[in-house]
A and B are shown apart, each in its own frame.
Chain A
Amino acid sequence: MAFAPINKNYHDFFVVRDKDACINCQVCVRQCSYGVHFWDEARQCVRHDNTKCIGCHRCEALCPTQALLIQEKPSNFKANALWRPVFIKNIYKQADTGGVLLSGMGSPADIPVYWDNLLLDASQVTNPSIDPLREPMELRTFLGSKPTRLEFEETPEGPRVKTKLKPNIALNFPIMFSAMSFGSINFNLHIAMARAASELGTYYNTGEGGLHQSLYKYGKNTIVQVASGRFGVHRDYLNAGAAIEIKIGQGAKPGIGGHLPGEKINAKVSETRMVPIGSDAISPAPHHDIYSIEDLHQLIYALKEASEYKVPVSVKIAAVHNVAAIASGVVRAGADIVAIDGMRGGTGAAPAMIRDNVGIPIELALASVDQRLRDEGIRNNASIVAAGGTRCSADVVKAIALGADAVYIGTAALLAVGCTLCARCYTGKCPWGIATNDPYLAKRQNPDIAAKKMANLMKAWAHEIEEMLGGMGLNSIESLRGNRDKLRAVGLNQIELDTLGVKAAGR
């Protein structure tokens, strides 16, 4: 056996091929963008190289005879509670390359998932649960600044409101598609998100890559993002959507910027982002015109001026240690919506160290921000959107009960179109045709089917939310929002309970 470098020995996956079932059709060869499968001319059969497998399961899913099985390699290092395999393997990799460890999607690290410690309430006897199939069940949600009080005038036709309200966006479901830029994911998925959001009566966020001209027609259901790279930001863009979002930070990589490699910048990405074809698109870590809260105030109002105060302005921040104080400042600086992205949020590319070690979980961040804004009497000035690691409709319900007005889903939306969380988005070789602009791979996503799947997911969640809401004896989402009495916690300590503002189960 020839000498193999150490990282070749300790790869993560291996391919099991059922020789009897395999018909050597080479589908796996064509599907794998990492070159795991290949045609062996000498032996006249399909063979594979386990070391290249990243565990995306594309070949397994597409194999017409179900001859393939992708498994985690069971070979174990000597057990060591400190030096877990991931650390060992990372060191081998870095010793080889001298580079920063890159990763994609949300953190797989074992950080407490507080959703799993929170349990929901249901009605028994003293109040009836409500059946959403027979009774109205209302999920309509408005995002934006609201006044503290209203003045009405009563006329024979009914009341008229005298108070002038600031612009709000209306959502049929308290869920939106999170910012995933065109470039980081391909055009087919941008069309899909735009269509799904339009069909559902909710919103998708362009991310920081601008908005392609052909998608302007979905503007009514679009939130346009302005990030530190200012890609694709111009007057028409700012007026193309229903809301503008300033991206300050991202939960997966708080404190650092972004880097879309030149290989992903094709003609369409180039014209949308307003950067040359093939050149890297680098988002600086901070906005270089925002070094302070007063600078943010200026940008918020610059954007409001540019959009003639017709749309709400959101500010997205990563959940970091002082998130409550920061969010309070952001609201006082004029944000109509604060989006908080927790540390389990996804990304197209982030240094693994940052992704797995920086920030705090969304549950704690959300709870402290909501409470802080209420304590300061400014909760009505801005809506709160929670993002980062929402896995199911129960997570959405829990987020709303903790105080969110709505949630952003990113990873869940990509899972809906086939993502298997292999976490190699940064390679641009996504075999599922999601995080890639390679036309050969990108065409694996049919925008019509993708739109349908995203819409289905959201509708399914909406049904489940209605069921849970009805079970609690509520028939309107606003009665759940911030209603932490509908939550109880198991297995948390007193400080966590205090931070979440949730009683222990049994109390």
Chain B
Amino acid sequence: MKAPERYYDFQKDISGCGVFGVINTKRELIPGSMPIQAMCTMHDRGNGLGGGFAAYGIYPDHADKYAFHIMCETQEGLDSAEELIKKFFVIHESQPIPTKPTLAIKNPPIVWRFFLSAKQGGDRPKWRTNDEKDYVVNVIMHINKKTPAFVFSSGKNMGAFKGVGFPEDIAEFFRLDEYQGYIWTGHNRFPTNTPGWWGGAHPFTLLDWSIVHNGEISSYGINRRYLCEHDYECTLMTDTEVVAYEIDMLIRKHGLSLRMASWVFAPPFWDEIDRMPEEQRKAFEALRMVYGPALLNGPFAILVSDGTCLMGLNDRIKLRPLIVAESGSNVFMSSEESSIRDVCRELDTVWAPKAGEPVIVKLED
């Protein structure tokens, strides 16, 4: 799409962070207390300007509905978002996200959730021929752009919970100890140059994908322009957003596997590619030629999930910590081993994945 007027003149937030993730490969439910405790251990990796969690398997009763989590400063804003949602979706349930007044959380926005199914074909006001996921993504972007409300979670049987505060305070505010899920990710944020904004906290989600990220994407300027060419407009003032959109584009639209996408984010170096057998050399050369603008350059450790797997990935020269550990059917990924040991003292294996090499843990089913 054509870049919006003055698209170059953006404010971007820079942040350091702590991340934690856990997946139970047998889909056994893990209570929210575990990731909360793990994030508490890494309290000092944040500065109270952002915390959040994503959980999969939390809405089994509405597993086939899109669960939209929406935040807005004002009731009017929320109403305008609801108007739009009514036009584009069938609303099955609409309710406030349960919260609890928490001393540490000042001036929270209104948080609301909808369980929705997408209107089909002729019932849609716009984008009639789009496939359903494209349609949902378009509507999300539309709401985020046209209304003061912000959709911060949109997958099925999953949800993101985030805001300004330490993760443990956010967890208390959203009553996350009352949820159970088979995959959890958590994030503690240390932004350095912007006042906290609830929408800017992690995880970032789009459809079922959720991302938590520790690092600074120095290639953000080009990633953002590249995504704009592919009709993704970055509006959230933070670099993690581009990871979410790139995953959506590469996997959903271009049909790449998660493994291939991770190679786009952190491709092998040329001297390694030059030593590969002919077929692979050609494949990686093509990957870097075509997807070079999507390379995530700069320090990062990211945890990505779509509800069927959990992936941990470091940048090409491992400039951020990332530890993986296994215990029975639980696999943990974290910025610090201490946070894993704190919630699971006995571990079968613990290792630090190599730079640029993803760890992808899939559900057994």
Contact = CB atoms under 8 A, between A and B. Distances in A.
Interface of A: 123, 125-128, 130, 135-136, 138, 140, 142, 146-152, 154-155, 157-161, 163, 165, 168, 371, 374-377, 379-380, 472-476, 478-486, 497-498, 501-503, 507
Contact size class for B?
35 or more
A492 to B, nearest CB: 13
B122 interface: no
Contacts of B229: 374, 377, 379
Interface in B202-254: 215-216, 218-222, 224-226, 228-230, 253-254
A130 B219 CA distance: 14
Nearest to B15: A126
Contact of A474 (B215, B282, B297): B297
22 contacts: A127-B215, A127-B216, A127-B319, A136-B271, A136-B317, A148-B290, A149-B290, A150-B287, A157-B280, A158-B283, A159-B263, A161-B282, A474-B218, A474-B219, A475-B297, A478-B288, A478-B292, A478-B295, A479-B218, A483-B219, A501-B8, A503-B8
Nearest to A139: B270
Interface string B269-297: 11100001101101110111111110101
Nearest to B274: A140
Contacts of B221: 482-486
B283 A479 contact: no
B283 A160 contact: yes
A138 B270 contact: yes
Contacts of A376: 2
A380 B290 contact: yes
A125 to B, nearest CB: 8
Contacts of A497: 9
Contacts of A158: 276-277, 279-280, 283
B8 A484 contact: yes
Nearest to B296: A479
Contacts of A140: 270
B8 A142 contact: no
Contact of B222 (A142, A149, A155, A481): A481
Interface of B: 1-3, 6-9, 12, 14-16, 192, 215-216, 218-222, 224-226, 228-230, 253-257, 259-260, 263, 269-271, 276-277, 279-280, 282-284, 286-293, 295, 297-299, 316-317, 319
A473 B218 contact: yes
**Which of A127, A135, A136, A377 is packed against the most chain B CB atoms within 10 Å?**
A127
A497 to B, nearest CB: 8
Nearest to B253: A149
Nearest to A150: B290
Nearest to B231: A377
Given A128-B319, A130-B317, A123 B283 contact: no
A485 B298 CA distance: 14
Given A152-B257, A480-B222, 15 more contacts: A125-B192, A126-B16, A127-B14, A150-B290, A152-B283, A157-B279, A161-B283, A375-B3, A376-B2, A377-B230, A474-B219, A478-B293, A482-B221, A502-B8, A503-B9
A142 B289 CA distance: 7
The 6 A-B pairs of least Cβ separation, nearest first, read A485-B221, A478-B292, A479-B297, A479-B219, A483-B221, A483-B222
A479 B222 contact: yes
B8 A161 contact: no
Contacts of B293: 478, 481-482
A87 B192 CA distance: 55
A476 B220 contact: no
B218 A150 contact: no
Given A150-B291, A160-B280, A498-B6, A485 B220 contact: yes
Nearest to A125: B192
Contact of B277 (A157, A474, A476): A157
Contact of B216 (A148, A155, A473): A473
A151 B287 CA distance: 10
A469 to B, nearest CB: 9
Given A127-B215, A130-B317, A380-B290, A473 B225 contact: no
B298 A127 contact: yes
A140 B295 CA distance: 14
A388 B71 CA distance: 51
Contacts of A379: 229
Given A126-B16, A481-B222, A485-B12, A475 B3 contact: no
Nearest to A372: B2
B298 A474 contact: yes
Contacts of B286: 150, 161, 163, 165
B218 A159 contact: no
Contact of B292 (A152, A481, A486): A481
A475 B266 CA distance: 11
Nearest to B222: A483
B295 A479 contact: yes
A482 B225 contact: yes
Contacts of B271: 136
Contacts of A159: 260, 263, 280, 283-284, 287
Contacts of B215: 127
Nearest to B259: A154
A20 to B, nearest CB: 59
Given A158-B283, A375-B3, A479-B219, A473 B192 contact: no
Contacts of B270: 136, 138, 140
Contacts of B269: 136, 138
Nearest to A487: B221
Contact of A374 (B3, B259, B263, B280): B3
Contacts of B255: 151
B291 to A, nearest CB: 7
A506 to B, nearest CB: 12
A163 B286 CA distance: 9
A152 B299 contact: no
